[in-house]
Amino acid sequence: MSQIKNLIPTTVNPDLQKERTAATFSVDEFAAWWQGGADKLNTKRVIEQAVFSDLEDGYGINHEYMSHEDLYNSTVKKVAEAAPKLKALQEKLNPGGKDIWPGCLYSVLAHGLFPANHPLATHITMFVDVIKGQGTPEQVEKWGSLAENCNIIGTYAQTELAHGTNVRGIETRADYDPRAGEFVLNTPNLEAYKWWPGGLGHTANHAMVVAQLYIAGKHKGVQMFIVPLRDPETHMPLPGIDIGEIGKKLGMAAVNQGFLGLKNVRIPRTNMLMKYAKVDRDGTFTASPASKVTYLTMVFTRCLIVNLNSTLLLQAATIATRYSAVRRQSPIEPDQPEPQIIDHVTQRLKLFPEIATGMAYHLAAEHMWELYDQTVLDANNGKFDRLPDMHILSCALKVLCTTDGCAGIERLRLSTGGHGYHIAANLSNIYGNAVAAYTYEGENTVLLLQIGRALVKAWASYKQGQTPSSSYAYFESSMRLKEFPKWTGSWQCIVQALQYTAAHKTRIAFENLSERIAAGQSQAVATNNTGIELTRAAELHGRQFVCETFIAQITGPKAQKRSPALNKVLENVVELFLVQTVLNNLNEILRFVNLTDEDLRSLQKRLELSLEKFRPDAVAVCDGFDFHDRVLNSVLGSYDGNVYPRLFDAAKRSTMNQKPVQKSFETYLKPLMKANL
């Protein structure tokens, strides 16, 4: 217990209260809209009250002073203690649903319940989903309920020590033995060890192993297999299983990522997921009707990543914005008191665009879930034509959200000065959780290259007279123009300029790729040499989609359900995001769109004006995200704004402060100080 806990006021910091009083819209209306309705908002708050109310003092920071092993075991304890609470809440609030249990294990609530993260997230988000999405009805019946209820705990083992994003290059091998009706799984070399799966180290007792299938020595492609790893009673590794944890990482301290090697591990034939591809008892292989159907799992996970990283960005923005309303420094007028640092225009530029960015990606993710649900429905009915576009869009959103989000979180940390460097600010943990997504589920540059290849393929089809799919419809509208129309600066003009630029960047990439092939380079070498152009075209393809989606989500019929006051604030957020997007991509846009000096000056003025308009509502908007203090877990971002007492309280909690003199003094420091060196 901190010795100065009584110094933390029970009142709200007056500067922060002043910000809330000055807001031009209803925070409750914003929060209800953001959560998808007043009922969902109320349910969220009921759940938070139930699970957070009895957490012990220091719950959010004590883990920082634990050993690596103690931290893991403490987190498993927290998961086990939370499970019955969440199950009871599920039965009370939504019987038969999955939104609270196990849904809260990977929702925003989990950020507060498990401040060091936890080892079951991969189990819930991937192992369970893969079974339900790609298993037969019999397999779903056998494994699905057990997995959803955590009676078995799994992970998704795809990445290997030497292979990640290139799934086709993985080396883990599954050979079918028709006499026994079993698959025999092997890790052929050190490089083929599974590496990074969450919970694999000491938590999971099953894994969804992604391996190369061979039947009678013939390769049948990449398939997925449910592999038992540990004895269900003793948890000891089963024969042929070499398993453990990979060690400490930059973040995700309690996720328990692991390694896995397999040596002649036999599993029944029915442990291969066979909703699409199938292996009969006699070894007859039936290929999946759509080669990209296995991408559904990755699409699902990438939608989750966009949800997660946009949320992490907004958490960091909430912390930094509240702190900026409390912190006073550097008089603007020399003879005036120190202002709130949020009054410095340069500080606003660090804060407000990140709020707009987080909101844009959050709403883009909501749109992607709608597309995903329709894609799954189509796939279940044997229609797979949506899959390629869905895959590319999910790649683009994952890349942009993680890239912009990670950069934004770091800018927000820097905006809080030295105090943001303290672990109790929680910005370093937020960054550690966010930045991992830059790499997992497809390294961002590799994904950009995939998008780029899809763009030039779509461009080639378009040039051959085929009508582009909806994702590439802007090719046609852009190329009908001999030159870009006079710049008006409207939102539609901005989106059109981004699409026009993306189309021409794709055209140039296609032309340069074709020239390289004509000059004798192979397709693969030419594609590699065109990589810079492909990735830039890919990024612009994604940015035009996000901008267009953001406008659609804020304006039109949906706006009629919101008050004029809230719409005015949201429209300014869109304005800020669009203008900032143009300014950040001028190097590409100016190549194809003629903007005058007056146009550029106008964009700068619009940026400054949108920052000024956002200033009175910044704290209230962050309040509207409705992050519980346990979720933010930050001495700088607490709702009450009592930054300095909370910082001091956090310092007092350091285990080194539990005794006035450390043991190293007598042993080392005192002799050093008395030595005649």
Annotated catalytic sites, by residue?
A: 441
Nearest residue to 364 via CA among 499, 546, 496: 546
Euclidean distance between CA atoms 477 and 500, whole angstroms: 8
Q: How many CA atoms are closer than 13 Å to the CA of 128, on its beta-carbon side? A: 21
Residues 428-451: b if buried by 16+ CB within 10 A, e if exposed: bbbbbbbbbbbebbbebeebbbbb
Count of helix runs (H) and strand runs (E) in the chain: 26, 11
- Dihedral angle sign, alpha carbons of residues 219, 261, 300, 405: negative
Q: Show the tokens assigned to 327.
A: 């912190």
Contact 209, 227 (CB under 8 A): yes
Helices (H), 416-443: 427-435
Tokens in use for 420?
A: 């943001």
Q: Is-contact 318 427, C-beta < 8 A?
A: no
The residue with tokens 């998008």 is 451
Rounded to whole angstroms, how far apart are CA atoms 526 and 517? 6
Report whether 12 contacts 21 (CB < 8 A): no
CA distances to 68, 363, 578 from 354, in Å: 33, 14, 12
Listed in sequence order, the residues at least 6 apart from 218 whose beta carbon sits closer than 8 Å to its beta carbon are none
Place of tokens 């809260």: 104
**What is Dmax (Cα atoms) for the chain?**
90
- Joined together, the tokens standing for residue 335 give 């003879």
In order, the DSSP letters of 310-324 are: HHHHHHHHHHHHHHH
Q: Which of 60, 10, 9, 14 is nearest to 619 (CA)?
A: 14
CB–CB of 570/29 below 8 Å? no
Q: Residues 643-665, buried b or exposed e (16+ Cβ, 10 A)? A: bebbbbbbeebeeeeeeeeeeee
Q: What is the DSSP letter of 440?
A: T
Question: Left if phi > 0, otherwise alpha if psi is -120 to 50, otherwise beta: which for 55?
Answer: beta
- By the 8 A CB rule, do 70 and 110 touch? no
Q: Which residues pair with 196 in a beta bridge?
A: none
Does the CA dihedral 86-89-95-97 come out positive or negative? negative
Q: Is the distance from CB of 134 to CB of 275 less than 8 angstroms?
A: yes
Whether the CB-CB separation of 178 and 242 falls below 8 Å is answered with no
Of residues 485, 506, 496, the one with CA closest to residue 548: 496
**Residue 506 labeled ligand binder:** no
In this structure, the strands spanning 173-177 and 156-157 are unpaired
Q: Which of 355, 397, 327, 328 is nearest to 545 (CA)?
A: 397
Q: Is 159 annotated as a binding residue?
A: yes
**Residue 2 bridge partners (DSSP):** none
Q: Would you list which residues are annotated within the binding site? A: 159, 198
Q: Would you list which residues are annotated within the binding site for FAD? A: 159, 198
